[in-house]
């Protein structure tokens, strides 16, 4: 396991308690979620930028079952355990959790982030959890999509397509 893995990977219950303490310290909590299947430069740039929007970056990773439901058979390529290990290894990431649901609404309600971040491929008005965060005075940010950097495109290249 990479250094810090055990300190960064948490359950929802553990993180809910941690975030309460961080909020009492005046920390700005940034939250994002995704599949993070086949980690690539788009993910790294996105998470680096997300971290600049607050003090603590929390990343929720879809479980294997939820990725399969969202992306179809053959996905994820890497298990949620592998994906979580890679994401925890990134310097920008403070905490990681794996969630079972198809969307992160339950996680967002429990953690009450100040900033909710999604990639630019999501219209801001369609970001799940937007109302929850904004009703508490938080904000929703969409970050630019890194052209040509997606797990789906990477898979096509690996399988012999041209991206």
Model confidence over 44-64: pLDDT tens digits?
999 999 999 999 999 999 999
* Model confidence at 145: pLDDT above 80: no
**Structure token digits, residue 88:** 């925890």
The phi, psi pair for 75, rounded to 5°, reads -120, 150
Give the Cβ contact number of residue 50 at 10 Å.
24
Q: Which of 37, 44, 56 is nearest to 90 (CA)?
A: 44
**Structure token digits, residue 46:** 């996105």
**Quick check: 16 and 110 in contact, CB under 8 A?**
yes
- Residue pLDDT, tens place only, 76-134: 989 999 999 999 999 999 999 999 999 999 999 999 999 999 987 777 788 999 999 99
Percent of the chain with pLDDT over 90: 70
* Model confidence at 163: pLDDT above 60: no
**Quick check: 99 and 61 in contact, CB under 8 A?**
yes
Query: Could you say which DSSP state residue 26 is in?
Result: T
- Predicted local confidence at residue 120, as pLDDT: 76
**What domains are defined for the chain?**
5-158 (3.40.50.620)
């Amino acid at each position: 396991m990479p250094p810090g893995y055990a300190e960064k990977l948490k359950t929802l219950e553990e993180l809910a308690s941690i975030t309460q303490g961080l909020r009492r310290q005046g920390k700005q909590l940034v939250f994002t979620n995704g599949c993070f299947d086949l980690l690539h430069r788009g993910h790294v740039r996105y998470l680096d930028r997300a971290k600049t929007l607050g003090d603590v970056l929390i990343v929720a990773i879809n479980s294997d079952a939820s990725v399969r439901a969202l992306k179809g058979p053959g996905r994820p390529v890497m298990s949620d355990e592998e994906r979580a290990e890679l994401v925890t290894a990134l310097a920008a990431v403070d905490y990681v959790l794996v969630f079972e649901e198809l969307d992160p609404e339950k996680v967002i309600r429990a953690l009450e982030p100040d900033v909710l971040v999604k990639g630019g491929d999501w219209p801001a008005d369609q970001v799940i959890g937007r109302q929850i965060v904004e009703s508490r005075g938080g904000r929703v940010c969409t970050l630019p999509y890194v052209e040509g950097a997606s797990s789906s495109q990477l898979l096509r290249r690996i399988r012999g397509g041209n991206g």
